[in-house]
Amino acid sequence: MTSDYVSNMYVELVKEIRKEVTIPLAVKIGPYFSSLPNVAKRLAEAGANALVFFNRFYQPDFDLDNLEVVPHINLSTSSTLLLRLRWVAILYGRIPIDFAITGGVHTAEDVVKSMMAGAKVAMMTSALLKFGIPHLSTVLKKLEQWLNEHEYDSIEIMQGSMSQKSVNEPAAFERANYMHALTRYTAGS
């Protein structure tokens, strides 16, 4: 299949579902499209009300002793969040639908980052598997604490405040900035 064929399948599926249901339609996508912004735009035009960034594809591991492919549940860490933050920050304000982030949301700070990138929703799975359901109350408490300490009256105020359109240095989201990061790298940092 060509990349065009694959993205058309998603778009056609969303169009079909949109015809059948009137409830809000959120589409969870993976990060591996050839042109993610184009696919996101086309899904919005096809009738999606929201996009969820991103599906974590199931990745089986190899058992080297038995030479078998083995099922593997790989829980995320907060570093998984960065790919989501980048894409939501880039697309915020450019595609007129809502965004949710799933993948790497473990702490209150991760929720704040997700909101600042431009998401309306931050979802949590691995952290709840790791720490149990009460972790949700801890995150909520710490989030309220963070908002108070930093004098934010609401979540809405911060939404999109770190998006590419809002920051002073939009190039910070682009690949050229990698060189800058490498030249500043010091061992052990």
User: Which residues here bind ligand FMN, judged by CB under 6 A?
Assistant: 28, 56, 73, 76, 80, 102-105, 124-127
Of residues 30 and 93, the one with the C-beta less far from ligand FMN? 30
Measured from the CB atom, is 137 or 186 closer to ligand FMN?
137
Which residue lies nearer to ligand FMN by CB, 72 or 165?
72
Q: How far is the CB of 1 from ligand FMN (least distance, A)?
A: 22
Q: What DSSP assignment string belongs to the chain?
A: --HHHHHHHHHHHHHHHHHH--S--EEEE-S--TTHHHHHHHHHHTT-SEEEE-------EEETTTTEEE-------GGGHHHHHHHHHHHTTTSSSEEEEESS--SHHHHHHHHHHT-SEEE-SHHHHHH-TTHHHHHHHHHHHHHHHTT-S-HHHHTTTTSTTTSS-GGGGSTTHHHHHHHH--TT-
For the CB of residue 17, give the shortest distance to ligand FMN in the complex, in Å: 15
CB of 148 to ligand FMN, least distance (A): 25
Residue with smaller CB distance to ligand FMN, 107 or 126: 126
Min separation Cβ 68 and ligand FMN, Å = 21
